């Protein structure tokens, strides 16, 4: 090959952002497009907050807090401390640097710009040169159905996820508004580009971060029919999730905590699947679900880890790296 | 006397806030009510900002920046620096601590609370025990008419005042919405309280900070007819304004920069007038405008200065101090 490659990455928060960063080192700005989940976006304190967009933006801009994987590096909490004194809600941490993103995004959205335009503009201001596209300009709101004392309760996702630290027992996840949400035009254009070489499903939570993207009208159907390789990277490492509530959620949804479950989940759309070396024992089972299976070191701690996983993913489908 | 006193103070920003602090040391919480100008409130970056309310709140709470007279002490500018990187508007400084006030106020207003309720709640959270009342719960917007290249331009006040640093030549000041704004019910109740002993017009800019209060429907008429002493303290010291653009504005409006001009401005409502010792030469001229005139040290640099001017103002009308 040697000519220009075209790769589309579907991405959630922390894990996805790390692979996106690796891909951005291996591919040119015109070879990569990153589509980001907006299902857990929400409005808080009057501010529009897009957790996954921000995580991917900060990661690609090199200003993410590498300890948490989200938020800004060298962040300060003066605003939050002051807000707490005033009796304001402090359960969702907003650092002083990070806050500027939410204020400026909210201002631009209120002025009539769409989320895609705002996301591209603000990520570019921070030095991100790869196109970052929200999955949709429309609003999709993740709500979770949890066990209550008597009957089920419906909670906004961040209320469940952050305020209640995922403590209520999960029964179902709903993406409110998904049936009317239009995939972002650049997402569709990239997906249908005849020169597209590869679609990567990044190692993000399948149920919370990837599903909102797949559930947009038309997307799953396109992915089922496309001739372009669709490669999913499992977020499970050694039978556990690297971060976050994936394990608890999978358990409560009655799913086994392994990459076989993830492969099952992607079986109708993925033509290739990469799992962690530590789970290589699952290869045969997964091969019965998805024909092409690879193993890799999927824990991405250093920048070298991220670049290496990006390389191995491209190499897995025969793209020059 | 010796019994409870009842004092109502009409207050703008920095100068007024300093006297209000002095009064709060001399009077009990049930003896003082402070009504604050909201004419220069504005919405910026989607946030509702009330400069005079904030200055009075921070001053009474003991957390004001004593060098500037406004904003928070030991403030940090992390948010602003981050906003600037994102290409956001940075001409109106919003410190990290101060920002919490605007975010929480905006959130509560959007939730349906009125400005009076929000102001009382937030000032109490900061430890202010004196009632702080906005002049109105309605919106009054100060606009200035300035000279343009060909014809006059109308500018929002903070645009003129902060962004353009008062550089355009002022022709007129308008308070848009004042004819429909209702004085805050607690303002009216205090003003009409049969036990009221004294109304103080604090040493704030008459044209920018006090006039919006006086211009509310009914207020000037009540002040003209009341039997309660109305004492105005001149903001002019030694023929100059302590801070801000008062001198330039008065010049452009064709007014002489002295306390005689201020007395003229208040002649229909003030029964007493206090000017600075340094301007004592103006006493006779002012006595022809307002019958009772006193002199005092009106420059309030220390807390003792503020308390002393408060005492002298009460003493001026024979209230025990």
Strand partners, A141: A176
pTM of the model: 0.92
Considering only CB atoms, B96 lies closest to which of A96, A101, A107, namely A96
d(CA A39, CA A135): 9
CA B16 to chain centre: 5
Per-residue pLDDT averaged across A255-267, rounded? 94
Helices (H) and strands (E) in chain A, counts: 13, 14
Q: Is it the case that residue B1 has pLDDT exceeding 50?
A: no
| Region of residue A155 (left: phi > 0; alpha: psi -120 to 50; beta: else) | beta
Q: Do B78 and A97 touch (CB under 8 A)?
A: yes
Task: List, for residues A142-196, the tens digit of each pLDDT value.
Answer: 999 999 888 889 999 999 989 998 899 999 999 999 889 999 999 999 999 999 9
User: What does the DSSP assignment read for B209-252?
Assistant: IIHHHHTSTTHHHHHHH-SS-EEEE--EETTEESSTTHHHHHHH
Cα separation values, B314 from A293, B19, B318, Å: 87, 12, 6
| Other Cβ atoms within 10 Å of B194 Cβ, number | 7
d(CA B77, CA B255): 38
Q: Six-digit token pair at A239?
A: 């039978």
CA B208, B210, B216, B221 torsion-angle sign: negative
Residues of A in contact with B61 (CB under 8 A): none
d(CA B211, CA B214): 5
Taking CA atoms, what residue in B is nearest to A46? B107
d(CA A37, CA A10): 8
Res. A2 pLDDT band, cuts 50 70 90: low
Cα separation values, A101 from A40, A71, A83, A109, Å: 16, 11, 18, 12
Per-residue pLDDT averaged across A190-211, rounded? 95
Residues of B in contact with A88 (CB under 8 A): 100, 103-104, 107
Task: List, for residues A262-318, the tens digit of each pLDDT value.
Answer: 999 999 999 999 999 999 999 999 999 999 999 999 999 999 999 999 999 999 999
Q: Is it the case that residue A121 has pLDDT exceeding 80?
A: yes
Please indicate if any CB of chain A lies within 8 Å of the CB of B277. Answer: no
Q: Do B125 and A47 touch (CB under 8 A)?
A: no
Please indicate if any CB of chain A lies within 8 Å of the CB of B4. Answer: no
- DSSP 8-class letter at B163: I
Please indicate if any CB of chain A lies within 8 Å of the CB of B43. Answer: no
Task: List, for residues B133-188, the tens digit of each pLDDT value.
Answer: 999 999 999 999 999 888 889 999 999 989 998 899 999 999 999 989 999 999 99
Q: Report yes or no: B241 and B206 within 8 Å, Cβ to Cβ.
A: no
Residues of B in contact with A99 (CB under 8 A): 79, 82, 99
Residues of B in contact with A46 (CB under 8 A): 46, 103, 106-107, 110
Name the burial class of residue B294, with classes exposed (0-12), middle (13-18) and buried (19+) by CB atoms within 10 angstroms of its CB: middle
Averaged confidence pLDDT in chain B: 94
Per-residue pLDDT averaged across A46-56, rounded? 97
- DSSP 8-class letter at B146: E
Taking CA atoms, what residue in B is nearest to A87? B125
The pLDDT of residue B250: 84
Residues of A in contact with B104 (CB under 8 A): 45, 83, 86-88
Q: Six-digit token pair at A178?
A: 């998904």
Q: Is it the case that residue B282 has pLDDT exceeding 90?
A: yes
Which residue in A194, A184, A189 sits closest to A226, CA to CA? A194
Residues in chain A: 321
pLDDT > 70: percent of chain A: 99
d(CA A223, CA A208): 19
Please give the angle made by the CA atoms of A278, A279 and A280, to the nearest 5 degrees: 95
d(CA B213, CA B32): 18
The pLDDT of residue B2: 54
Task: List, for residues B192-231, the tens digit of each pLDDT value.
Answer: 999 999 999 999 999 899 999 999 999 999 999 999 999 9
CA A257, A258, A264, A266 torsion-angle sign: positive
ipTM, two decimals: 0.91
The pLDDT of residue B203: 95
Is domain A7-40+133-139+178-316 in CATH 3.40.50.300, yes or no?
no
Strand order in the sheet with B141-146: B153-156, B141-146, B170-176
Q: What is the least distance, in Å, from the CA of A113 to any CA of chain B?
A: 14
Q: Do B97 and A78 touch (CB under 8 A)?
A: yes
- The CATH fold assigned to B7-62+129-139+178-316 is Rossmann fold (3.40.50)
Q: Report yes or no: A15 and A64 within 8 Å, Cβ to Cβ.
A: no
With residue B198 as reference, give the H or E element that holds it: strand B198-201
Cα separation values, A155 from A140, A167, A173, A262, B108, Å: 14, 12, 10, 25, 22
Q: Where are the beta strands (DSSP E) in chain A?
A: 7-11, 32-36, 42-44, 47-49, 132-134, 141-146, 153-156, 170-176, 198-201, 230-233, 236-237, 240-241, 272-276, 292-296
Q: Is it the case that residue A1 has pLDDT exceeding 60?
A: no
Q: What is the least distance, in Å, from the CA of B104 to any CA of chain A?
A: 6
Helices (H) and strands (E) in chain B, counts: 13, 14
Q: Is it the case that residue A245 has pLDDT exceeding 80?
A: no
Please indicate if any CB of chain A lies within 8 Å of the CB of B82. Answer: yes
Task: List, for residues B2-12, the tens digit of each pLDDT value.
Answer: 578 999 999 99
């Amino acid at each position: 090959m040697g000519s220009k490659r075209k790769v589309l990455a579907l991405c959630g928060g922390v894990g996805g952002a790390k692979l996106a960063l690796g891909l951005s080192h291996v591919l040119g700005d015109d070879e990569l497009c990153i589509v980001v989940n907006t299902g857990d976006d929400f409005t808080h304190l009057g501010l529009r907050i897009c957790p996954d967009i921000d995580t991917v933006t900060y990661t690609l801009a090199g200003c993410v807090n590498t300890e948490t994987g989200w938020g800004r590096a060298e962040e300060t909490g003066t605003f939050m401390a002051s807000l707490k004194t005033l009796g304001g809600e402090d359960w969702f941490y907003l650092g002083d640097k990070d806050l500027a993103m939410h204020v400026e995004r909210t201002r631009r959205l209120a002025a009539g710009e769409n989320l895609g335009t705002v996301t591209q503009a603000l990520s570019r201001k921070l030095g991100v040169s790869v196109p970052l596209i929200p999955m949709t300009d429309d609003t999709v709101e993740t709500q979770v159905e949890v066990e209550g004392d008597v009957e089920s309760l419906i909670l906004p996702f961040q209320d469940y996820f952050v305020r209640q630290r995922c403590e209520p027992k999960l029964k179902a996840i709903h993406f409110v508004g998904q049936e009317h949400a239009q995939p972002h035009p650049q997402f569709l254009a990239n997906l249908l580009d005849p020169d597209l070489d590869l679609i990567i499903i990044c190692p993000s939570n399948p149920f919370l971060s990837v599903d909102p993207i797949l559930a947009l009208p038309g997307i799953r159907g396109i992915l089922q029919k496309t001739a372009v390789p669709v490669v999913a990277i499992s977020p499970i490492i050694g039978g556990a999730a690297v971060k976050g509530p994936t394990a608890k959620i999978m358990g409560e949804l009655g799913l086994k905590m392994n990459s076989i479950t993830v492969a099952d989940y992607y079986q109708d759309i993925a033509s290739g699947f990469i799992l962690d070396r530590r789970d290589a024992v699952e290869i045969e089972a997964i091969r019965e679900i998805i024909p092409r299976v690879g193993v890799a070191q999927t824990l991405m701690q250093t920048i070298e880890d991220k670049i290496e996983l990006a390389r191995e993913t491209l190499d897995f489908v025969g793209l020059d790296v």
